[in-house]
Structure 1
Amino acid sequence: MGKVNYAAIDIGSNAVRLLIKSIDREAVQEKKIKKVMMLRVPLRLGFDVFSIGELSEKKADKLRRLMKAFRQLMKIYDVDDYRACATSAMRDARNGRTIIKKIEKDTGIRIEIIDGQEEARMIYNNHIECMEDRLGNYMYVDVGGGSTEINLLTNGELVWSVSYNIGTVRMLSNAVKEGTWQQMEEELMKVTEGVAAINIIGSGGNINKLFRLADKKDKKLQRLPVSSLQTVYDVLKPLTPEERVEAFSLKQDRADVIVPAAEIFLKIAEVVHAEYIYVPVIGLSDGIIDNLYAKSLEKEMKAE
């Protein structure tokens, strides 16, 4: 069996992504997986959901049209298998399941609403395989538009995993429930008590952008000192989203969410006393494809 093309559709609270990767089963390890295309569309579903509790007709229609387009792109790129996952916004939307049924009927694309724990597992599983140094204690933090997934990893093993309804779009919509921050802080303090030298592995588009904006960082290790993140945050915070677009060439849909994302990372870093945030360029889409590939290998082994 030669090349297999896999696609991942990640329906997030801020953006919707289509990632297509080609896996050459006969190639040597490092050339095995190639990114064929990545498309990110800022549908910003969370702004509807976290303010009115459901997706508006307009947003639902845009999502349906986008899935039609993704369907065509997957045909053009000869995709063998795909998985479409929706996260926090669709989990919270009153009409989420109805919309998903309609989309499947209209486009043939089956969307699964996954919970925070599965989302977290898919992301950190993918990253663990990419980590050269698995020793030590890491807090794996994925900040999304609707939720933040946190996992404690010790020497590459998952010790603790939790999802909190604290996300960038949710914060901008003033929809984070009172007490959720305190709950996160208390649980983090409890789980890290007596755990030495914890650093953070950061995931999500915002931390990648914050890393690029920081002056002091270790590019070779993809490592951002928490003090540098604080400096970037202090510069961005007083500016309006329009001023951030102008000064730092940010996309409009990044300029507003980047500040609450920095706040979430800084809060977690403060609680767990982290000095650094490692910033690998890996997200849920990569995790979905990794998962599809692993399942196909499993099937083959069973067939043998």
Structure 2
Amino acid sequence: MSEARESPPAGLTEAAPAPSRILSVIDMGASAVRLVVAEAGPDGKVRILEEASRGVLLGKDTFTDGRIKATTMQATLRVLKGFRRIMEGYGVVHCRAVATSAVREAANRDSFLDRVRLRTGIEVEVIDGPEENRLTYMAVREVLGEHEMLRRGNTLLVEVGGGSADISFLRDGEPVFSGTYALGSIRMRQALASWRGHHDRRVLLLRRHIHNVVEDIKREMPLREATHFIALGGDVRFAASRLGGLESAEGHVRFVKEPDFIAFCDQLAGEQVDELVERYRLPPADAETLVPALLAYRELLLATSAEEITVPDASLRAGIL
């Protein structure tokens, strides 16, 4: 005999489960434009449906000439039109498109954004450093959950992007200091683009610049008090995968011992870009920014008391979702 089911009060009907929604995020960074399409279920859980990334060197223009060139604008429009077709195919109901330092600092950013809106129908929001830090923090919390480093003690959270480094100092899991600093890999690379001297001398100049910026950061944040170090970004994920860092049970986090990471950074710093391309099968654009980014992580890690580096599979795009 089946169990009786209580009827709703007269005049009321049971609410139907909320339907899933298809959402998307576009992240316009210094070296690429990236798309994530996801399904948000009624329970709040998000399932990634598709991810796409197209190399567009917006940062190379802005950090060299202070403005986005017409050719780069056209390349960006082609990418966004392609992303638009992908979103239409999935029936996306809401898209949030954001741009960071490469667009934020461009003298012609308004005309660029107007052209994007008129040609693609996509409204791009230029976000500032504090918003980048907030979104990054949210993404890390989603991946690490109730991990020890987000519940007690001091943790440094770092993402070295193409244009800048977003850094937050967490105390018992809550941000108490945060800032955006001139340690972007493309920015640093372009600052030395005209250098025609020996490779070792170029790396020395790069290390000196990074050291000076980190010394300034020390005056704003108590870096030495940090006993945990969380690093985000494609360059540090590459390093963690090459070093075979210990993976979490869920597979979304890698842990790499500090001496192993430092040694790997120093090894790569001694190699030319074409050597990195050949050895690791990297696209040239990625190989150009790898060493500047890793040397920035290296210097920041050494400024803390952390004994390992934690590399979650998290991003600003995940924070938006």
Residue correspondence of structure 1 range 129-148 to structure 2 within 5 A: 129-131=142-144, 132-133=146-147, 134=150, 135-148=152-165
Matches within 5 A, 1:152-167: 152-167=169-184
Paired AA for residue 283 in structure 1: S
- Aligned partner of 2:291 in structure 1 is 259
Residue of structure 2 equivalent to 1:185: 215
For the residue of structure 2 that corresponds to 1:267, the secondary structure is helix
Unaligned segments of structure 1, at least 5 residues:
290-304
The residue number in structure 2 matching 1:202 is 231
TM-score, length of structure 2 as denominator length: 0.82
Question: CA offset at residue 182 of structure 1?
Answer: 2.9
Tell me, yes or no, if the aligned pair for 2:56 and 2:76 is still in contact at 8 Å.
Answer: yes
1:169 paired residue number: 186
* Pair 1:14-2:35 in alignment: no
Q: Which is worse superposed, 258-267 or 273-282?
A: 273-282
Partner of 1:284: 316
**Secondary structure of the structure 2 residue equivalent to 1:191:** coil
One-letter amino acid of the structure 2 residue matched with residue 210 of structure 1: A
- The code of the aligned residue for 2:89 comes to I
Provide the aligned C-alpha RMSD in A: 2.0
Runs of 5+ consecutive residues of structure 2 not aligned to the other structure:
1-17, 193-205
User: Per the alignment, do residues 190 and 110 of structure 1 end up closer, same or farther by CA in structure 2, a change over 3 Å counting?
Assistant: closer
Moved more, 269-278 or 74-83: 269-278
**Matches for 1:1-304 after TM superposition, within 5 Å:** 1-26=18-43, 32-131=45-144, 132-133=146-147, 134=150, 135-174=152-191, 182-188=212-218, 190-192=220-222, 195=225, 197-215=226-244, 217-220=245-248, 222-289=254-321
Residue 270 of structure 2: SS of its match in structure 1?
coil
Assess, with a 3 A threshold, how the Cα gap between structure 1 residues 264 and 14 changes in structure 2: closer, same or farther: same
Equivalent position SS for 2:303: helix
Change (3 A) 1:193 1:46: closer
Task: Report if the CA contact (8 A) 2:183-2:213 is conserved.
Answer: no
Higher-Rg structure is: 2
Q: Distance in 2 between matches of 1:3 and 1:285?
A: 19
Question: 3-state DSSP class of the match of 1:60?
Answer: helix
How far residue 244 of structure 1 moved from its aligned partner, in angstroms, is 1.0
Task: Give, in angstroms, the shift of residue 274 of structure 1.
Answer: 2.4
How far residue 120 of structure 1 moved from its aligned partner, in angstroms, is: 1.1
| 1:189 to partner: Cα distance | 5.1
